[in-house]
Every structure is written in C-alpha cells, then in structure tokens.
C-alpha cells in the first residue's frame, strides 16, 4: 500500500498519495474525495484508506503484468508460442482455434490473473461449455488448460496446477452409424464413374483414414507382390488464418504403418487411373503440375486433392443418389463392422485398421459381434427350457424314453 495523507484545497478534502518509482524518484498523486471539510473528517480518513488500498502505481502494474499476467494473455502470448515450436502444425492449429476462439475470450471477460484462478472458475467454464458442446470437445479444453498451467508452474508463475483439483469432463459414449453391407453395395454401385470413385472404394475396403487415403503414393502400391501400404499422410489445417496442406512421410504411430493385400479389382482400377493420368500429362504438357506426381489421387492438372474437398464431395455424392447421410470417416467404421460381423478376430481388425491400442478396437466394435451373442442366447434358452418351438431332436426316437408311468420323457443333453 502506498503512503498518503489528507490535505484541504478550496474547502474540500484531497488525498495526496506518494511512492517511489522504478528509478528511485519520489512521485505524488492528488485524488479528490469530493467531501467538503465541514463534518467530514472521518469520512475523508476512510476514503483515504480506501484509495491507498486500491491504488497501484504505474510501474507496479507493469511488474504485475510481467509476473502475474491475465490468464487469457498467458494462453495467447506465452503458451501458444511455446507449443507452436513443439507440436505438428495440425495439432497447433487445433490448439489455436480452441484457445483464441473459446477459452481465452471466456477468461478475458472474467479479468482473472493466472494466480487468481480457482477450481470453481475452471469448473464453471467446463459446465457452461458442456451445455452446447460434446463431452470430447470439453475434454480437449481441459487438456489445453491443464497443459498451459503445467507450463506456468515450470515458469514459476504459480506454485501448483489448480486444474489438478478440477473434475475432468466426461466423454460421451461414441455411437457410430456405419453402412450395412447392402448400403455399401448400393454406394459402390454408383461410384464407378465418379471422380473420387476409386478413393471411396479403397477407403471402404481398407478402412483407411482420410489422411491415409489422400496421402497414398504410387510407391505404396506393389502390383507384382499384390500389396498396398499405408505409409504417408496428407492433412489440412488453418494456420494463422490461412488453410494449408501438410504432406507427411510419417504416420501417426507405428501401428498406422501397415501393408495389406491388394484386391484384384482395385489393382485393375489403379492401372486404369495411372494410364488416364499419363494421358492427362501428355495432353496438358507443360501446364501439368508434376510436383504431386508421386501421389495417386490428383486432379486433371496434377494437383493433389485437398482432404476437405474429399469430405465435401462425398456428401454431394450421397445426396445425388439419395443415400443415407454418413460422414466420410464412417466408411472406416463400415469396413470394421463388416469384418467383425463376419467373424474376423478383433486382433486382426485392429491390425487392418491400424489402431495402436487393442482396447480402442474392442471398445468401439465389440458390441457389433452379435453372432456370438446369438449362440449364447440359444444355449441359455435350451438349458432353461425357454424355447417354445418344436425341437426336432425331441421328436427323434433316440431322444425320448418311457418313464415309470409309461409316459415319454426327454433324455438329458449336455452342451
């Protein structure tokens, strides 16, 4: 608290504040109380104390801003630049959109410095966002806040991470809506003449992620050995307000690298596509862009197809043929569903999809393995004698014998 005293000027009390600035010079500031001297001494003294308590010298405000910034400023000016140098561009884009678009504006309105954050402040933010956002989205907000405060602890802005005491948002159960075999058959019957027909076929057959199928290179296809390999990726993200594409020769994790058998019909389609691209290149000459020639899915001028355009075009295709609306990513789920329903072991499904964790595959698709549950239902129905339908075995002579009263009784059977 700065020092100060009362003085009188033109019949009114004034507070005179004094302090020493960063250069060691003595500074003063006069603050009017608005109180006339008549019968107002005690009120003036109380006013003086109030003004001294609330007054922050200019140089102190600067030091406070440096040592205890507003949380919103810390996120944008300190944490985001720190993460930009450490994570992939697409990950940074996700952070930037969530910080600048949602998290920072909320806490800016609260005018909270980083040292003033409480569990209640953060929890209120989660609860408000949960009213209009998915649980998975709010969990991402929590991850950002927690990571940012961890960095603040390392920089000694705060002694500990207050978000550790918050209740982590809950993730809603993921309900996928894949195509059935019949729906996939209908979809694939319409794509032969579509510009992205082969891309859709490959996605449905191999369950590739969008980044994996757009990132396919000709070098990933071995016609002699009959294999196709997921080993490249193309992603798209908005960086500093501009949409950019990122070509990567590395996958998300080791399990994402996978070599799968090349289906004969897809192999033939790939040969035809390569021949068509060679014709486009000869026709366009120098106008044909050769910078993306190593990629399979390029347009007529040789430019790599943008991932977002694939998503948009897929929806146009569904509307055109009045097909049930699903996301492009649901083709991956549709592929997995077909495998599971036809008895492919879950471990093989994991390897086909390139999941790093078996639990991810099991949690998402185990409920689809309905055949095994039907077998279990038949067993329990038979053993508890709940089946009211006529059992052929019971009509067989070997399945019946006379009891002591001359009546037929069923022999016991074990499973």
The verdict on 15 and 161 lying in the same domain is: no
Q: Give DSSP secondary structure letters for 72-128.
A: HHIIIIIIHHHHHTTS-HHHHHHHHHHIIIIIHHHHHHHT-BGGG--HHHHHHHHHH
Give the domain-ending residue among 165, 189, 211: 165
The verdict on 331 and 226 lying in the same domain is: yes
Total tally of structural domains belonging to the chain = 4
Alpha-carbon distance of 363 to 16, in angstroms, equals 70
Which CATH number is 322's domain given? 1.10.443.10
Dihedral over alpha carbons 361, 363, 364, 366 (to 10 degrees): 90
User: What three-state secondary structure class fits 243?
Assistant: strand
The verdict on 139 and 255 lying in the same domain is: no
Q: Is residue 174 part of a domain?
A: no
Q: Angle at Cα 249 formed by Cα 79 and Cα 314, nearest 5°?
A: 90
Alpha-carbon distance of 360 to 253, in angstroms, equals 14
Q: Is residue 176 part of a domain?
A: no
Alpha-carbon distance of 89 to 171, in angstroms, equals 25
CA distances from 375 to 306, 370, 372, 379, 381 (A): 46, 9, 5, 6, 10
Which CATH number is 119's domain given? 1.10.150.130
User: What three-state secondary structure class fits 53?
Assistant: helix
The verdict on 322 and 239 lying in the same domain is: yes
The verdict on 156 and 192 lying in the same domain is: no
Alpha-carbon distance of 187 to 185, in angstroms, equals 5
The verdict on 190 and 336 lying in the same domain is: yes
Q: Is residue 170 part of a domain?
A: no
Shortest CA distance to 261 belongs to which of 230, 232, 226?
226
Q: Is residue 171 part of a domain?
A: no
pTM: 0.65
Which helix (H) or strand (E) segment holds residue 410: the answer is strand 408-410
The verdict on 113 and 242 lying in the same domain is: no
The verdict on 47 and 89 lying in the same domain is: no
Structure tokens at 391: 């059992």
Q: Is residue 90 part of a domain?
A: yes
The verdict on 292 and 222 lying in the same domain is: yes
Q: Is residue 112 part of a domain?
A: yes
CB 358 within 8 A of CB 211: no
The verdict on 262 and 326 lying in the same domain is: yes
CB 200 within 8 A of CB 194: yes
What is the domain extent for residue 60? 3-64
The verdict on 225 and 77 lying in the same domain is: no
The verdict on 191 and 306 lying in the same domain is: yes
Q: Is residue 269 part of a domain?
A: yes
Dihedral over alpha carbons 219, 220, 223, 226 (to 10 degrees): 160
Digit-coded pLDDT (tens) for 208-267: 999 999 999 999 999 999 999 999 999 988 877 788 888 888 776 777 888 999 999 999
Alpha-carbon distance of 309 to 312, in angstroms, equals 5
Q: Is residue 175 part of a domain?
A: no
pLDDT in tens, the chain (415 residues): 678 899 998 899 999 998 777 677 788 889 999 999 999 999 999 999 888 888 877 665 454 456 788 999 999 999 999 998 888 888 899 999 999 999 999 999 998 999 889 999 999 999 999 999 888 899 999 999 999 999 999 988 889 999 999 998 887 776 778 899 999 999 999 998 898 999 999 999 999 999 999 999 999 999 999 999 999 999 988 877 788 888 888 776 777 888 999 999 999 999 999 999 999 999 998 899 999 999 999 999 999 999 999 999 999 999 999 999 999 999 999 998 888 888 888 888 888 888 877 766 766 775 655 555 566 567 677 767 766 555 555 444 444 444 444 444 434 433 3
Across-strand partners of 19? Answer: 27
Helix ranges (H only) for 321-356 are 330-341, 346-353
CA diameter of the chain: 126
């Amino acid at each position: 608290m700065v020092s100060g005293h009362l003085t009188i000027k033109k019949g009114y009390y004034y507070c005179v504040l004094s302090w020493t600035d960063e250069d060691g010079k003595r500074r003063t500031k006069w603050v009017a109380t608005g109180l006339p001297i008549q019968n107002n001494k005690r009120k003036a003294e109380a006013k003086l104390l109030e003004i001294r308590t609330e007054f922050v010298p200019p140089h102190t405000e600067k030091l406070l801003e440096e040592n205890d910034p507003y949380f919103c400023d810390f996120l944008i000016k300190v944490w985001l630049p720190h993460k930009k140098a450490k994570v992939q561009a697409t990950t940074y884009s996700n952070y930037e959109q969530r910080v600048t678009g949602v998290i920072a504006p909320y806490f800016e309105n609260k005018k909270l410095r980083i040292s003033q954050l409480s569990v209640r402040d953060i929890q209120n933010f989660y609860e408000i966002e949960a009213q209009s956002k998915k649980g998975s989205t709010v969990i991402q907000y929590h991850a950002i806040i927690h990571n940012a405060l961890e960095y603040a602890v390392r920089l000694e802005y705060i002694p500990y991470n207050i978000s550790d005491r918050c209740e982590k948002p809950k993730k809603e159960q993921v309900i996928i809506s894949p195509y059935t075999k019949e729906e996939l058959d209908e979809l694939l019957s319409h794509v032969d003449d579509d510009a992205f027909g082969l891309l859709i076929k490959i996605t449905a057959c191999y369950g590739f992620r969008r980044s994996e199928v757009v990132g396919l290179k000709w070098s990933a296809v071995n016609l002699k050995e009959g294999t196709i390999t997921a080993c490249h990726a193309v992603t798209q993200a908005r960086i500093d307000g501009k949409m950019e594409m990122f070509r990567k020769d590395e996958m998300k994790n080791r399990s994402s690298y996978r070599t799968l058998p090349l289906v004969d019909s897809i192999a033939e389609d790939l040969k035809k596509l390569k021949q068509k691209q060679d014709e486009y290149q000869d026709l366009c000459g120098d106008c044909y862009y050769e910078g993306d020639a190593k990629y399979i899915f390029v347009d007529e001028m040789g430019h790599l197809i943008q991932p977002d355009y694939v998503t948009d075009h897929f929806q146009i295709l569904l509307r055109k043929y009045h097909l049930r609306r699903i996301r492009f990513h649901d083709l991956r789920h549709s592929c997995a569903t077909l495998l599971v329903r036809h008895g492919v072991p879950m471990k093989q499904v994991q390897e086909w999809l390139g999941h790093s964790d078996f639990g991810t595959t099991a949690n998402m698709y185990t409920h689809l393995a309905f055949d095994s549950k039907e077998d279990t239902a038949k067993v329990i129905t038979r053993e508890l004698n709940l089946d009211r339908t006529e059992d052929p075995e019971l009509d067989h002579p070997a399945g019946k014998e006379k009891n002591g009263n001359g009546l037929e009784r069923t022999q016991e059977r074990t499973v």
